[in-house]
């Protein structure tokens, strides 16, 4: 039984030939800027991605190869529709993963959710895109409304496994969010400089083409600072980190005073302020987002520490990780999403929503005030032990990205009033005002 369920009208395995598609280098002569943005993106690396390749191998061994076509359909659509994959020798254009000519040959959507990757393809001389009046001597052009809508992305960013478990719900969550209601598409945040909303990018889409108010960006960065690092894609790695830093807002609620031996309850509020889907999204059973909370006294003595990473690279147990946990046939947690039969838990943060995480600790005797609270929202693309199992221990360290950081302090309630033990808030404001004055002065009389 093939796990690939195809929608009526879509193109199946081996129905096309790879020479019906042109390599990205053929487009770069005229679309040089767009090409340089796409080149190095996770789309351009969707097939060669070493993490994907390792997971594919595990999935393939697990299912005696029956899953391969399903996985490959999104990661090398030309490979599968040309019949080169699975099993055969892949041409250059198939190895380019999600590339120019495949995306711009999409001529329809056969129904997201009805089947796997329901794109309808019409390869040939017509390039379909967002421009209503555009002319090229190299190819024909055709306006495609689909390319300007989330449905275009949703055909691949919505993954139902063969048991019918929705393992990637990015499109669906967006569809049910206020972003969709307001008309904000994936393209507005992922193909414009705005990151969390639309911002125009004036320019030319091809050499010699007219100047336009907006040309879409093709970096397609998400949150992947791990594989982009392995593949030395520095621009895309940096952009992923910048994007992660714009996704969430954080606040701490802690008492301003607490005496020795007093029990302190700390609340950390995390809001998904910038993403049109849950954070994290995509293969969210593999991604990890969590809070690291550190409390120290004025001598730097650790009072409380949660969410730190131990020597093995594991997150210290006991903290909630904001991701999904999938269940296998016996209801046990599994990261093998192709086998999953249920979703055991989903602790991700929906768009515009806030979650509260509580931490409790007590102020030890003999503490040196003030007590400092530091909270970091951390993200990494995969748990270290998963990567160690796949690649061998010591091969790749998964980078931890700091998405947001906040600090607060707790003072001695018995300290005489007006005599803070450190330059307090007031003093900080004064220092800040002084520096502002100095800067203004410098600017004026330079
Ligand atoms: C993942 C699919 C995808 C890939 C890969 C892709 N594009 Fe696009 N491209 C789009 C979408 C979607 C739009 C329209 C976005 C919008 O509405 O802002 C677009 C827009 C364009 C445009 C119109 C310019 C404009 O004003 O925005 C050109 C030209 C273009 N792409 C060329 C290319 C070339 C060349 C490549 C390869 C180097 C490429 N694309 C790769 C999806 C893709
Ligand atoms: C000889 C130069 C040249 C080459 C090579 C070329 N294009 Fe274009 N393309 C253009 C020009 C010029 C336009 C019109 C741009 C405009 O009006 O702003 C264009 C427009 C487009 C559009 C916009 C269509 C629309 O209606 O929105 C897409 C998509 C596109 N090209 C994709 C590609 C892809 C994919 C390749 C490689 C297979 C490619 N082009 C190769 C010159 C070229
Ligand atoms: C033909 C299928 C396909 C289409 C259409 C598609 N994508 Fe993707 N996209 C993928 C695959 C596969 C990956 C994962 C590649 C990898 O990590 O190996 C990916 C990765 C990404 C990433 C990077 C994720 C990360 O973790 O960094 C972003 C962002 C993204 N896509 C956005 C979009 C947007 C926006 C659109 C619509 C304009 C779109 N994609 C259309 C298949 C597709
Ligand atoms: C309001 C802006 C916004 C919209 C709309 C939006 N995104 Fe995102 N996207 C973000 C931000 C910010 C991040 C980084 C935080 C994160 O990883 O979730 C992100 C991350 C991602 C990632 C990487 C996820 C991960 O954690 O590995 C993918 C894939 C992605 N987006 C795809 C999409 C698709 C597909 C759509 C449309 C269905 C979409 N996005 C709509 C802002 C947006
Ligand atoms: C319907 C399209 C689709 C299918 C089918 C699919 N994927 Fe993906 N895959 C994606 C998209 C989109 C992403 C990007 C989401 C993200 O970054 O979190 C992705 C990301 C991944 C990643 C993360 C890569 C990285 O660099 O972090 C792995 C691993 C992966 N897929 C493996 C597989 C395997 C194995 C299968 C088959 C069991 C499979 N995929 C089937 C669309 C698909």
Q: Who contacts 430 (Cβ-Cβ below 8 Å, separation ≥6)?
A: none
Ligand 1 pocket, residues with Cβ under 6 angstroms? 24, 27, 31, 34-35, 38, 43, 98-100, 103-104, 129-131, 147-148, 152, 187, 191, 205, 212, 215-216, 218
pLDDT in tens, 357-393: 999 999 999 999 999 999 999 999 999 999 999 999 9
> Cα–Cα distance between 47 and 45 in angstroms, integer?
5
Crossing angle for the helix pair 68-75 and 50-62, to the nearest 10 degrees: 160
Unique residue bearing structure tokens 């270290």: 384
pLDDT at site 27:
98
Residue 162 beta carbon below 6 angstroms from any ligand 5 atom: no
Domain limits, the chain: 18-236, 244-415
Ligand 4 center from residue 204 Cα (angstroms): 26
pLDDT in tens, 294-341: 999 999 999 999 999 999 999 999 999 999 999 999 999 999 999 999
Biggest CA–CA distance in the chain, Å, is 82
Question: What integer best gives the mean pLDDT of the chain?
Answer: 93
Report the percent of the chain where pLDDT is more than 70: 93
Neighbouring CB atoms inside 10 A of 65's CB total 12
Is the pLDDT at 438 greater than 70? The verdict is: no
| Residues composing the chain | 446
Residue 51 beta carbon below 6 angstroms from any ligand 5 atom: yes
> Cα–Cα distance between 128 and 149 in angstroms, integer?
13
Ligand 1 center from residue 255 Cα (angstroms): 51
Neighbouring CB atoms inside 10 A of 353's CB total 14
The CA angle 414-418-423, to the nearest 5 degrees, is 100
**Cα distances (Å, whole numbers) of residue 339 to 67, 342, 406, 442:** 10, 9, 39, 64
Q: Does domain 244-415 have CATH number 1.10.287.70?
A: no
Ligand 4 pocket, residues with Cβ under 6 angstroms? 150, 153-154, 157, 170-171, 174, 179, 184, 186, 189-190, 195-196, 222-223, 243-244, 246-247, 274-277, 279-282, 287
Residue 71 beta carbon below 6 angstroms from any ligand 5 atom: yes
Token pair recorded at residue 332: 């046990």
Residue, of 4 and 212, whose pLDDT is higher = 212
Q: Who contacts 245 (Cβ-Cβ below 8 Å, separation ≥6)?
A: 401, 402, 403, 404
Q: Who contacts 438 (Cβ-Cβ below 8 Å, separation ≥6)?
A: none
Neighbouring CB atoms inside 10 A of 303's CB total 18
Q: Give me the half-sphere count of Cα atoms (radius 13 Å) on the Cβ side of residue 55.
A: 20
Answer whether 115's CB lies under 8 Å from 5's CB: yes
Residue 20 beta carbon below 6 angstroms from any ligand 2 atom: no
pLDDT in tens, 206-222: 999 999 999 999 999 99
> Cα–Cα distance between 298 and 293 in angstroms, integer?
16
Closest-CA residue to 263 (of 290, 303, 294): 303
Closest-CA residue to 43 (of 88, 90, 101): 101
State how beta strands 140-143 and 126-129 pair. parallel
Prediction pTM value: 0.95
């Amino acid at each position: 039984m093939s796990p690939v369920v195809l929608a009526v009208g879509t193109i199946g395995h081996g129905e096309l030939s790879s020479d019906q598609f042109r390599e990205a280098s053929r487009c770069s002569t005229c679309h040089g800027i767009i090409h340089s943005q796409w080149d190095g993106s996770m789309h351009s690396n969707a097939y060669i991605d070493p993490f994907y390749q390792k997971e594919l191998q595990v999935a393939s061994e697990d299912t005696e190869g029956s899953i391969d076509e399903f996985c490959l359909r999104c990661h090398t659509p030309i490979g599968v529709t040309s019949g080169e994959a699975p099993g055969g020798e892949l041409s250059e254009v198939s190895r380019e993963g999600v590339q120019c000519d495949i995306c711009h040959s999409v001529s329809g959507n056969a129904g997201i959710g009805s089947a796997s990757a329901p794109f309808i393809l019409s390869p040939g001389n017509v390039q379909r895109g967002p421009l209503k009046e555009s002319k090229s001597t190299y190819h024909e052009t055709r306006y495609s409304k689909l390319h300007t809508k989330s449905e275009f992305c949703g055909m691949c960013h919505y993954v139902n496994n063969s048991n019918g478990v929705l393992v990637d719900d990015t499109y669906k969550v967006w569809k049910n969010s206020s972003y969709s209601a307001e008309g904000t598409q994936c393209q507005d945040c992922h193909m414009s400089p705005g990151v969390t909303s639309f911002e125009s990018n004036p320019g030319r889409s091809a050499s010699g083409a007219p100047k336009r108010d907006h040309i879409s960006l093709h970096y397609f960065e998400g949150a992947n600072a791990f594989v982009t690092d392995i593949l030395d894609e520095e621009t895309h790695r940096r952009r992923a980190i910048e994007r992660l830093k714009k996704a969430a807002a954080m606040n701490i609620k802690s008492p301003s005073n607490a005496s020795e031996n007093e029990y302190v309850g700390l609340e950390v509020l995390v809001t998904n302020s910038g993403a049109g889907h849950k954070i994290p999204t995509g293969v969210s059973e593999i991604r990890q987002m969590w809070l690291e909370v550190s409390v120290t006294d004025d001598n730097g003595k650790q009072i409380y520490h949660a969410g730190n990473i131990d020597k093995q690279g594991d997150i210290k147990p006991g903290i909630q990780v904001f991701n999904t946990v999938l269940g296998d046939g016996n209801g046990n947690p599994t990261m093998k999403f192709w086998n999953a039969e249920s979703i055991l838990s989903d602790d991700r943060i929906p768009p515009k929503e806030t979650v509260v995480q509580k931490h409790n600790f007590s102020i030890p005797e003999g503490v040196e005030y003030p007590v400092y609270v530091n909270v970091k929202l951390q993200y990494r693309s995969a748990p270290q032990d998963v990567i160690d199992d796949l690649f061998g221990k010591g091969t790749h360290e998964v980078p931890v990205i700091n998405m947001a950081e906040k600090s607060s302090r707790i003072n001695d309630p018995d300290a005489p009033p007006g005599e803070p033990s450190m330059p307090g808030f007031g003093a900080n404001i004064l220092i800040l005002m002084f520096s502002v004055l100095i800067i203004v002065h410098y600017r004026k009389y330079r």
